[in-house]
Amino acid sequence: MAATTLPLLLARTAREDDPVVAATALVAAGLIGTAALAADLAPYLDADEPLVRWAAATALVRITSDRGDAVEPRLLDRAVAELTTAADNAAPTGVTDYNEGDFHGHIERTLRSLPTGAPQAALAACLPRVERDRDGHRTRTALLDRRM
């Protein structure tokens, strides 16, 4: 399936003017792709549209997370930096439907999937903006912060 779907997703992203559609395709590519896809995703980290940069960063982290594949560390660092920036800002006016449209919740889930551990500053930036606490991370984090 990925062999057929990935080229279609990347082609759609390359020709798409709507940032929500482009971002949706990029995240989908990250969900089914492998680290071999990193070079195709990397240019989107420089997109003018913040939602597209977020999606590229999300996809890069996701292709690293689930399969133990390695994305080049500098590229992964750029992706994490982009997610950290996105976490520290309001959600764009148009977002994808991933994570039920909870932009910051999606960032939190993506960062928590990092095999090296999630950067705490980015998680702290996400926490107040997460709309849904489906798996309890937000609640546990808030309770731990109060104890300290």
Model pTM above 0.75: yes
Q: What is the pLDDT of residues 16-55, one digit of tens each?
A: 999 989 999 999 999 899 889 999 999 999 999 998 999 9
Q: What is the pLDDT of residues 63-110, one digit of tens each?
A: 986 555 678 889 988 998 898 888 888 777 776 665 656 777 778 888
Q: What is the pLDDT of residues 37-46, one digit of tens each?
A: 999 999 999 9
> 9 CB contacts (<8 Å, ≥6 apart)?
25, 26, 28, 29
Q: Are 63 and 37 a contacting pair, CB within 8 Å?
A: yes
Reduced to 3 states, what is the DSSP secondary structure of residue 100? helix
Encoded amino acid at 112, one letter? R
When pLDDT is cut at 50, 70 and 90, the band that residue 6 belongs to is: very high
